[in-house]
């Protein structure tokens, strides 16, 4: 009679024989590694229905029920940002947003943070050019308490003076740190030279030393009173909650919020770049040169959105893009190069950029201009299909969490995109033709009409740049770009 130990050894031996046989079968197969594996068909998107309704005070609400996990994301989007800063109060919108959770509803900053942490929630506020987002992520079981905190932050901020002074000092430190950060210098000089100081995109959203030092509690209170109104806002909700129940909860938390008159804002139109100019910012001893090349791009509502998405993917919007393959893979000038059409309510910048080794700055510029010129030529069919598949296959990744979905819904509502936008995105990408890409490139990209900014060691790179004859070269100091170093 076989013992249990004997049966176990027999079973193990049989398993080993089966495993070795399977491995031998696998090793005997010939794997073709001469080309990448075939991609599967692009996925289709079928998101839950989008519900839209208004609260009694006129606040627009967009909601998607998502019952996979007991979580809720609420994004309150105020239609105000640094583009609404008064001319002498740069940084006011971002400072107002930063101060919302520094004390509200009678709680100081520490007490408010403790209350949020106790619920296992996350509460944040952040201002951009045109919008301020106050976001709440919370477990469903804590939604009532978490929403009360959101209401305090939005409706009843305290703006304590001591916290304002602390944040103002932090900004002074940031301005000082920028002087040692070529990327920060590059961003400031590029935006300033492209849009000019009178346009909101041409200035930093954090303001200047003088404007930040001038900010007072009363400034924040006036800005909040003027712009933080339900008729200047919209609410996006995604999560494990029924619409009727959510509407009742929102009425209880935000129903007392009153509307008001809103000031209109007119921004100057920015002329398109008409000649190539190089702005060289001297950063002595810099090991790299930060290059930015661009011109005025398009607004988010452009009819050419999908051709431009495919175009940019080919040019610089992916690891396999032409710019990255040229400057990184072929020439080894950089760790990465890319491009983007930064689409906003107003036409934003088209930007191609990279940080390259100092001694190859001129050579890198040659390759940039080559790729910016070649993109207007017909795109090979295989490269076009690869770019479209890249966008289509990656798009569902934007909808993995309630936070991601809420962000996408916010964009849809802000730009008044059709309700079926998400479900039709992939077909719209796949329908883009080579002719549409070529037309978009010829319409929006002209290498002879772009500004070029380079932040690097002038003593090493100026001669090479001048020798390229790209256009007039203007040399700037860090003080010319950022102003004098602030005193802490």
Pairing of strands 122-127, 132-139: antiparallel
In the sheet with 50-54, reading across from the earlier edge strand, the strands are: 50-54, 60-65, 233-239, 71-78, 132-139, 122-127
16 band by pLDDT with thresholds 50, 70 and 90: very low
Supply the mean pLDDT for the chain: 92
Which one has a higher pLDDT value, 8 or 357?
Answer: 357
Does residue 459 surpass a pLDDT of 70? yes
Which one has a higher pLDDT value, 20 or 338?
Answer: 338
pLDDT of residue 11: 47
List the structure tokens of 233. Answer: 């806002």
Using left for φ > 0, alpha for ψ between -120 and 50, and beta otherwise, residue 95 falls in alpha
Contact present, 228 and 76 (Cβ < 8 Å): no
Does residue 95 surpass a pLDDT of 60? yes
Q: For residue range 409-447, list pLDDT tens digits in order.
A: 999 999 999 989 999 999 999 999 999 999 999 999 999
Does residue 71 surpass a pLDDT of 50? yes
15 band by pLDDT with thresholds 50, 70 and 90: very low
Report the residue count for the chain: 488
Contact present, 200 and 93 (Cβ < 8 Å): no
The DSSP letter of residue 90 is T
Q: What angle do CA 424, 427, 432 make, to 5 degrees?
A: 125
List the structure tokens of 271. Answer: 């002329």
Q: For residue range 186-240, list pLDDT tens digits in order.
A: 999 999 999 999 999 999 999 999 999 999 999 999 999 999 999 999 999 999 9
C-beta atoms surrounding 94 within 10 Å: 24
Query: What domains appear along the chain, each with residue ranges and CATH number?
Result: 50-254 (3.30.830.10), 277-482 (3.30.830.10)
Q: What percent of the chain has pLDDT over 90?
A: 87
404 band by pLDDT with thresholds 50, 70 and 90: very high
pLDDT of residue 172: 97
CB contact burial 204-214 (16+ within 10 A = b; e otherwise): bbbbbbebbeb
Does residue 35 surpass a pLDDT of 70? no
46 band by pLDDT with thresholds 50, 70 and 90: confident
Q: For residue range 225-278, list pLDDT tens digits in order.
A: 999 999 999 999 999 999 999 999 999 999 999 999 888 888 889 999 999 999
Q: For residue range 115-143, list pLDDT tens digits in order.
A: 999 999 999 999 999 999 999 999 999 99
pLDDT of residue 201: 97
């Amino acid at each position: 009679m076989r013992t249990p130990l004997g049966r176990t050894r027999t079973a193990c031996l049989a398993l080993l024989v089966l495993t070795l046989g399977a491995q031998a079968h696998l090793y005997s197969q010939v794997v073709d590694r001469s080309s990448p594996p075939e991609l599967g068909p692009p996925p289709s998107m079928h998101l839950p229905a989008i519900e839209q309704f208004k609260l009694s005070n006129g606040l627009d609400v967009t909601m998607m029920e998502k019952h996979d996990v007991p979580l809720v994301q609420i994004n309150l989007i105020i239609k105000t940002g640094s583009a609404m800063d008064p001319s002498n109060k740069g940084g006011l919108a971002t400072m107002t947003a930063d101060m919302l959770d520094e004390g509200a509803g009678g709680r100081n900053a520490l007490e408010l943070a403790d209350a949020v942490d106790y619920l296992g929630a996350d509460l944040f506020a952040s201002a951009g050019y045109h919008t301020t987002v106050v976001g709440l992520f919370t477990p469903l079981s804590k939604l009532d308490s978490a929403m009360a905190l959101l209401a305090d932050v939005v409706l009843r901020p305290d703006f304590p003076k001591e916290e304002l002074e602390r944040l103002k000092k932090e900004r002074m430190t940031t301005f000082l740190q920028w002087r040692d950060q070529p990327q920060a210098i590059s961003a400031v000089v590029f935006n300033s030279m492209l849009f000019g100081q009178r346009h909101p995109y041409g200035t930093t959203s954090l303001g200047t030393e003088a404007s930040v030092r001038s900010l007072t509690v009363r400034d924040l209170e006036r800005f909040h009173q003027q712009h933080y109104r339900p008729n200047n806002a919209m609410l996006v909700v995604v999560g494990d909650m029924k619409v009727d129940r959510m509407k009742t909860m929102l009425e209880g938390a935000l129903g007392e919020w009153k509307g008001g008159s809103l000031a209109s804002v007119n921004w100057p139109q920015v002329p398109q770049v008409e000649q190539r100019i190089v702005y060289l910012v001297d950063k002595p001893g810099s090991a790299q040169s930060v290059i930015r090349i661009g011109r005025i791009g398009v607004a988010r509502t452009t009819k050419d959105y999908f051709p431009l998405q495919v175009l940019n993917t080919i040019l610089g919007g992916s690891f396999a893009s032409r710019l990255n393959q040229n400057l990184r893979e072929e020439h080894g000038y950089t760790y990465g190069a890319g491009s983007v059409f930064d689409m906003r309510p107003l036409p934003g910048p088209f930007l191609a950029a990279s940080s390259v080794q100092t001694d190859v700055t001129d050579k890198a510029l040659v390759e940039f201009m080559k790729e910016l010129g070649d993109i207007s030529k017909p795109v090979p069919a295989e490269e076009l299909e690869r770019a479209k598949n890249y966008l289509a296959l990656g798009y569902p990744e934007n909808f993995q969490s309630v936070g991601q979905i809420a962000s996408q819904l916010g964009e849809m509502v802000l730009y008044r995109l059709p309700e079926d936008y998400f479900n039709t995105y992939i077909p719209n990408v796949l329908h883009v033709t080579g002719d549409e890409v070529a037309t978009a490139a010829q319409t929006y990209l002209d290498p002879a009409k772009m500004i070029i900014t380079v932040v690097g060691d002038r003593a090493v790179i100026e001669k090479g740049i001048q020798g390229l004859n790209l256009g007039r070269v203007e040399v700037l100091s860090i003080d010319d770009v950022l102003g004098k170093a602030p005193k802490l």
